[in-house]
Amino acid sequence: MPVVDYKTYCEMLDSANKNKYAYPAINVSSMETANAALLGFADAKSDGIIQVSTGGGQHASGSKVKDMVLGAISLANHVHMMAEKYPINIALHTDHCQPGKVDSFLKPLIAETEKRRARGEKNLFNSHMFDGSELPLAENMKIAVELMALCAKNEIILEVEAGVVGGEEDGVSNEHAPAEKLYTTPEDMIGVYEALSQIKGGRYMFAATFGNVHGVYKPGNVKLKPVILKEGQDALKAKHGARFDLVFHGGSGSTKEEIHETLAYGVIKMNVDTDTQYAFTRPVVDHIMKNYDGVLKIDGEVGNKKAYDPRAYLKAGEKGMAARITEACNDLNSTGKTLYKA
């Protein structure tokens, strides 16, 4: 199935919200990890979201070029081509973009979609995330409203965040964020709605924070308070009769019970990155350790080309990551729920 259009993406999100499941949103930084995401979703018969961060885009462009926009475009084009071979719906998204990178990352990618649309082609990305959580809410929303207008014009869904996700991801650290910043208040949630609802015809997802932490932790080490999402949704419904499409960031180390509780409160997208990085790397390490004298030319020997051919271990990494993505689909109840129709 080709990468979805705006109408199908909206149908995906509406179905998840109505039926209390969520889509894993998988960060990719190479063709191999993108292929792993497609395979994992297909194996689960689940629709899904593939996303690119600023760091992932930079990596994909190569260590010489280091162009996060060019790398993101390259990965997106790869997914557009490969997704046609899979019987599932795939949406393309960009992950955390802080205010300092809006002009150098988000706006160029939106401009690229504008050019494609002018040629009668599909959007490059279906949604983008603006992470203005480092700013006071009023400043955060001022930028978000501007981006919302650009996105609405081009049938792009915007993801925003208020409150801080702890830990470190993609070179951005919130490891010492004040505790109160880790929890979005009902007042903040209402403020986000009132700001973004100004833009008619726009659609957005909201990453509210409830103790989330980026990184990898043992179960029980991350102190989530999912009830915060319920309190915010209840406040929004009471005042405006509305309901958010919520996003769960920093889910590594969360229990299945906590994850399932968030689904009841409107989470329709959960980012999965740390766990899939490990799931890709572990089979690669296993291959290297089991074939040590084959991947290296030791003591004057010639090694084993079949062992040191990158395709051998990258294929193993792809399968390992795909299996973890299928597990994520099971955890989020999206398995077997693809809306794809042949």
CB neighbourhood size of 298 (10 A): 11
Domain span at 62:
6-286+325-331
pLDDT of 254 > 90? The answer is no
CA-CA distance, 264 to 271, in Å (whole number)? 17
Kindly state whether residue 58 falls inside one of the protein's structural domains: yes
Q: Give 342's pLDDT tier (boundaries 50, 70, 90).
A: confident
Does residue 307 form part of some domain? Answer: no
309 falls within a domain: no
Domain annotation covers residue 320: no
pLDDT, position 213: 67
d(CA 68, CA 74): 10
What is residue 218's predicted lDDT score, i.e. its pLDDT? 52
Question: Residue 211 — very low, low, confident or very high, per pLDDT cuts 50/70/90?
Answer: confident
Q: Is residue 50 part of a domain?
A: yes
In a domain, 170, yes or no: yes
* 3-class secondary structure per residue, the chain: CCCCCHHHHHHHHHHHHHHCCCEEEEECCCHHHHHHHHHHHHHHCCCEEEEECHHHHHHHCCCCCCCHHHHHHHHHHHHHHHHCCCCCCEEEEECCCCHHHHHHHHHHHHHHHHHHHHCCCCCCCCEEEECCCCCCHHHHHHHHHHHHHHHHHCCCEEEEEECCCEEEECCEEECCCCHHHHECCHHHHHHHHHHHCCCCCCCEEEEECECCEECCCCCCCCCCCCHHHHHHHHHHHHHHCCCCCEEECCCCCCCHHHHHHHHHCCEEEEEECHHHHHHHHHHHHHHHHHCHHHHCCCCCCCCCHHHHCHHHHHHHHHHHHHHHHHHHHHHCCCCCCCCCCC
Q: Which of 215-229, 239-253, 327-341 has the highest mean pLDDT?
A: 327-341
The pLDDT value given to residue 163: 76
Which residue in 95, 131, 245, 275 is the catalytic one?
Answer: 95
More confident residue, 210 or 94: 94
314 is a domain residue:
no
pLDDT, mean of residues 163-177 = 48
For residue 330, the model assigns a pLDDT of 97
| % residues pLDDT > 70 (the chain) | 90
Q: How confident is the model at residue 250 (pLDDT cuts 50, 70, 90)?
A: confident
pLDDT for 126 equals 98
Q: Is residue 292 part of a domain?
A: no
Position 173 scores a pLDDT of 40
CA distance 76 to 60: 11
pLDDT at res. 80? 98
Q: How many structural domains compose the chain? A: 1
Active site residue 95: yes
pLDDT mean over 133-141: 94
Q: In this structure, what CATH number is given to the domain that contains residue 162?
A: 3.20.20.70
Range with the lowest mean pLDDT among 49-63, 82-96, 238-252?
Answer: 238-252
Q: What is the pTM of this model?
A: 0.93
Task: Give tens-digit pLDDT for 139-154.
Answer: 999 999 999 999 999 9
Q: What pLDDT is attached to residue 181?
A: 60
